[in-house]
Amino acid sequence: MSESRPPLPPFTAETAAQKARMAEDAWNSRDPARVALAYTIDS
């Protein structure tokens, strides 16, 4: 099982936006290793 990273459910609007920003930042880094860490098979 993969390691959990905050923010964790249940989400508030603020923490949901934070999680989305974290995923966007990883994607926009254009670093494949960093992008791969932001996503899991079940996400």
Q: Please answer whether residues 23 and 38 qualify as being in contact, where contact means their C-beta atoms are separated by less than 8 angstroms.
A: yes
Q: For residues 42 and 30, give the distance between their C-alpha atoms in angstroms, rounded to a whole number.
A: 22
Task: Look up the pTM and report it.
Answer: 0.57
- The fraction of the chain above a pLDDT of 90, given in percent, is 12
Question: Does 42 have pLDDT greater than 80?
Answer: no
The domain ranges of the chain are 9-43
Query: What average pLDDT does the segment 4-14 reach?
Result: 78
Alpha carbons 27 and 21: distance in angstroms, whole number: 10
